[in-house]
Chain A
Amino acid sequence: SAVISQKPSRDICQRGTSLTIQCQVDSQVTMMFWYRQQPGQSLTLIATANQGSEATYESGFVIDKFPISRPNLTFSTLTVSNMSPEDSSIYLCSVGQPGTEAFFGQGTRLTVV
């Protein structure tokens, strides 16, 4: 199992600014994932955070908008850049191996005004 500490838990930000979300895992993990959950919607994968290399982004998500860092096997950050109200969502980090359960942080509820 893995315990993930994600922060901040929520924030209200002005449009045009950036917010960095942090996830700390209590054990070393190879794969970390960042998801977005828009209001009333399901989760959509933003990117896979790879240790020692650039993140791998899903279709519709770009590094300039969602830069990701993965400096070691227990930590990752996601930045939401140049925010607009459309970025208001819950952002979640996750860890997991293929074929096993995934573990999630508690999420960051972002509101952009």
Chain B
Amino acid sequence: SQQGEEDPQALSIQEGENATMNCSYKTSINNLQWYRQNSGRGLVHLILIRSNEREKHSGRLRVTLDTSKKSSSLLITASRAADTASYFCATDDSGNTGKLIFGQGTTLQVKP
């Protein structure tokens, strides 16, 4: 079953603009991760944020986590056409098994 929802489902912006994607989840978590998928291929890990962290940066990526609201956001700054992809949040299951529960995903299109 899906953990929660992501919004928006689709986002179209111009190169150079910032893109913000949101993810909500339902259960308590140990960590939340963001992944990128190009054209239905394999997923690439972007960033992991632990439940005791509120914000994390990696290059042009900024992730926030609000455990009280059970939500996270991914901000991509100064977007590039190459950022065009689908982005998914994923949370670990409560059993500490390594399984991931994915959100619905946001499809981002960056126009040159």
Interface residues of A (CB under 8 A from B): 4, 6, 31, 33, 37, 41-45, 48, 59, 90, 92, 94, 96-107, 109
The reply to whether B98 and A42 form a contact with Cβ atoms under 8 Å apart is no
Which residues on the A side are within 8 Å of B43 (C-beta)? 43, 92, 94, 102, 104
Knowing A42-B2, A42-B88, A42-B102 are in contact, say whether A101-B30 is a contact too (CB < 8 A). no
Alpha-carbon distance A37/B104, docked complex (angstroms):
11
Please give the number of chain B residues whose Cβ is less than 8 angstroms from any Cβ of chain A in the complex. Answer: 26
- Contacting A at CB under 8 A, from B88-112, are 88, 90, 92, 96-105
Decide if B59 is an interface residue (CB 8 Å cutoff). Answer: no
Other-chain contact of A45, B31, B50, B99 (Cβ < 8 Å)? B99
Closest 4 CB pairs of A and B: A101-B45, A104-B42, A106-B42, A104-B43
Which residues on the A side are within 8 Å of B50 (C-beta)? 99
- Contacting A at CB under 8 A, from B1-30, are 1-2, 30
Which residues on the B side are within 8 Å of A6 (C-beta)? 42
